């Protein structure tokens, strides 16, 4: 691990040096020495733009050297429920196989739970070389401590060079705990992963509010850990014949102890999530009133899809937060999406640009949404959406006649 060290003695004009930091993370202490405060984002601008040797990245004393040859394999944490793998696990397996083809490593899978064996069997059709199964009644429900202990046991036993975890509610709880236990880095919500030279995993994700794509590596620790959201990667096709060896593993009873007791599990009523639908009609700030969402919902229903929205509308309560598309919302890949009154900020398009067909309605012909749209409808949504509804109703009537 690296840390930033400031050598005040090498700085002639200390006040001028403070202004180099765009985040206000440099200040003078009572002795006039330059110190770093909690606002530091480790952007290294002070290292590059300061006087030579004034700000330097140094290895922390506790950083342990690792031998890359000891770490081999692209590992996937396969989340499962009632013996069925979560679809994000298949998407990660597809990516792991691509990465492994470049680095010449094996693909290994960790799966745990009460009926993990059933899910493990189905994963043999998706390209894993080895599937490590931890099947225990204590792992029936997700609890962070025992799951993290199993994960740690898996990593210490298999020593994978990279570990991919789905950025699901469970994956988001688990991955940072595991990374902290084994003293390695973690990049959350990657939108792309590439295999670099010498097996370095290049973890790509939006940064600074989505305005840049950061390429992050973990050069001084193993494994290299990344979480990836559902629907970001492509799931591989199911193979005709199974491959991959299933290996049963056990942890000690102590590792399964948890401070959390599950008293009752109440399943939520079945709900269709916007990630899972083929057609989406998404509303943005061009929709002025909550009541106007009715026409968006009706259009979505006539097209056999669901309504979604940009962040300002979710914040205004026009739709629930789980219908927000974008960087801080959901990533969707429908067959067809129609955006209505959405400008097309990078933060919005980060969540929908991989849809098969994109159509956009906007009064502004220069709106950035038209850069990603396949079909541009320049005009007022308050005229176009009712017209579409009218035409679709007419067509429906004609079909049912």
Ligand X SMILES: Cc1cc2nc3c(=O)[nH]c(=O)nc-3n(C[C@H](O)[C@H](O)[C@H](O)COP(=O)(O)OP(=O)(O)OC[C@H]3O[C@@H](n4cnc5c(N)ncnc54)[C@H](O)[C@@H]3O)c2cc1C
Binding residues (CB under 6 A) for ligand X: these are 209-210, 284-286, 310-312, 324-329, 341-343, 345, 347-348, 351, 361-364, 367, 380-382
Tell me which of ligand X, ligand SF4, none is bound by residue 367, counting a contact when its beta carbon lies within the kind-specific cut-off of 5 to 8 angstroms. Answer: ligand X
- C-alpha distances in angstroms, 374 versus 336, 338, 377? 10, 10, 10
User: Which residue lies nearer to ligand SF4 by CB, 29 or 70?
Assistant: 29
User: Which residue lies nearer to ligand X by CB, 46 or 342?
Assistant: 342
User: Which residue lies nearer to ligand SF4 by CB, 209 or 379?
Assistant: 209
User: Which residue lies nearer to ligand SF4 by CB, 41 or 371?
Assistant: 41
**Ramachandran region of residue 60, left (φ > 0), alpha (ψ -120 to 50) or beta?**
beta
Q: How far is the CB of 30 from ligand SF4 (least distance, A)?
A: 19
Q: How far is the CB of 309 from ligand X (least distance, A)?
A: 7
DSSP 324-361: BBSTTSB----SEEEEES----HHHHTTTTT-SEEEEE
Element of type H or E holding 197: none
Q: How far is the CB of 359 from ligand X (least distance, A)?
A: 13
Tell me which of ligand X, ligand SF4, none is bound by residue 26, counting a contact when its beta carbon lies within the kind-specific cut-off of 5 to 8 angstroms. Answer: ligand SF4
Tell me which of ligand X, ligand SF4, none is bound by residue 141, counting a contact when its beta carbon lies within the kind-specific cut-off of 5 to 8 angstroms. Answer: none
CA atoms in the 13 A half-sphere facing the CB of 289:
3
Tell me which of ligand X, ligand SF4, none is bound by residue 43, counting a contact when its beta carbon lies within the kind-specific cut-off of 5 to 8 angstroms. Answer: ligand SF4
**Using CA atoms, how far apart are residues 169 and 163, in angstroms rounded to an integer?**
17
**Using CA atoms, how far apart are residues 125 and 121, in angstroms rounded to an integer?**
8
| Contact residues for ligand SF4, defined by CB under 6 A | 4, 21, 23, 25-26, 36, 40-46, 55
Q: How far is the CB of 202 from ligand SF4 (least distance, A)?
A: 21
The residue with its CB nearest to ligand X is 326
Q: How far is the CB of 216 from ligand X (least distance, A)?
A: 17
Q: How far is the CB of 284 from ligand X (least distance, A)?
A: 3
Tell me which of ligand SF4, ligand X, none is bound by residue 311, counting a contact when its beta carbon lies within the kind-specific cut-off of 5 to 8 angstroms. Answer: ligand X
Reduced to 3 states, what is the DSSP secondary structure of residue 252?
coil
User: Which residue lies nearer to ligand X by CB, 270 or 291?
Assistant: 291
User: Which residue lies nearer to ligand SF4 by CB, 57 or 260?
Assistant: 57
Tell me which of ligand SF4, ligand X, none is bound by residue 301, counting a contact when its beta carbon lies within the kind-specific cut-off of 5 to 8 angstroms. Answer: none
Q: Give the E-state strand segments of 136-182 in sequence order.
A: 162-166
Output Rg (C-alpha) for the chain, integer angstroms: 25
Q: How far is the CB of 203 from ligand SF4 (least distance, A)?
A: 20
Tell me which of ligand SF4, ligand X, none is bound by residue 199, counting a contact when its beta carbon lies within the kind-specific cut-off of 5 to 8 angstroms. Answer: none
Q: Give the E-state strand segments of 229-341 in sequence order.
A: 245-248, 279-283, 306-309, 336-340
User: Which residue lies nearer to ligand X by CB, 50 or 326?
Assistant: 326
User: Which residue lies nearer to ligand X by CB, 209 or 386?
Assistant: 209
**Using CA atoms, how far apart are residues 216 and 190, in angstroms rounded to an integer?**
10
Q: How far is the CB of 350 from ligand X (least distance, A)?
A: 7
**Using CA atoms, how far apart are residues 287 and 368, in angstroms rounded to an integer?**
17
Q: Provide the β-strand partners of residue 133.
A: 111, 248
DSSP 8-46: GGG-S-HHHHHTT-TTS-EEE-TTS-EEE-TT-----HH
**Using CA atoms, how far apart are residues 205 and 220, in angstroms rounded to an integer?**
20
Alpha helix (H) ranges present in 104-140?
116-123
């Amino acid at each position: 691990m690296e840390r930033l060290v400031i050598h005040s003695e090498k700085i002639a004009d200390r006040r001028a040096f403070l202004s180099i930091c765009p985040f206000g993370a440099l200040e003078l202490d009572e002795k006039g020495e330059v110190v770093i405060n909690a606002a530091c984002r480790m952007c290294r601008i002070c290292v590059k733009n300061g006087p030579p040797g004034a700000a330097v990245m140094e290895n922390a004393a506790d950083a342990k050297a690792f031998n890359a040859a000891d770490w081999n394999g692209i590992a996937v944490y396969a989340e499962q429920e009632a013996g069925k793998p979560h679809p994000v696990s298949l998407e990660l397996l597809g990516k792991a196989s691509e990465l492994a083809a470049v680095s010449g490593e094996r693909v290994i899978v960790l799966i745990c739970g009460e009926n993990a064996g059933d899910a493990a069997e189905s994963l043999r059709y998706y390209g894993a070389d080895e599937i490590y199964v931890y099947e225990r009644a204590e792992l029936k429900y997700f609890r962070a401590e025992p799951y993290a202990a199993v994960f740690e046991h898996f990593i210490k036993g298999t020593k994978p060079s990279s570990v991919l975890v789905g950025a699901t509610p469970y994956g988001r709880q688990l991955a940072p705990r595991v990374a902290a236990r084994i003293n390695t880095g973690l990049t959350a919500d990657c939108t792309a992963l590439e295999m670099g030279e010498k097996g370095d995993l290049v973890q790509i994700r939006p940064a600074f509010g989505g305005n840049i794509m950061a390429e992050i590596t973990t050069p001084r620790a193993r494994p290299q850990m990344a979480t990836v959201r559902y629907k970001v990667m492509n799931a591989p096709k199911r193979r005709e014949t199974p491959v991959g060896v299933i290996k049963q593993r056990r942890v000690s009873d102590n590792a399964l102890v948890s401070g959390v007791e599950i008293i009752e599990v109440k399943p939520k009523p079945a709900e269709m999530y916007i990630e899972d639908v083929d057609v989406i009609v998404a509303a943005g700030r061009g929709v002025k009133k909550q009541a106007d969402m009715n026409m968006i919902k009706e259009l979505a229903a006539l097209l056999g899809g669901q309504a979604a929205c940009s962040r300002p509308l979710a914040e205004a309560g026009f739709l629930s937060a789980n219908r927000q598309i974008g960087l801080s919302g959901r990533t969707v890949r429908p067959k067809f999406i129609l955006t209505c009154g959405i400008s097309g900020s990078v933060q919005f398009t980060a969540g929908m640009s991989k849809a098969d067909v994109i159509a956009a309605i906007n009064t502004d012909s220069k709106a950035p949404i038209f850069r990603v749209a396949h079909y541009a409808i320049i005009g007022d949504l308050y005229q176009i959406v009712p017209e579409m509804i009218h035409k679709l109703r007419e067509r429906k009537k004609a079909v049912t006649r």
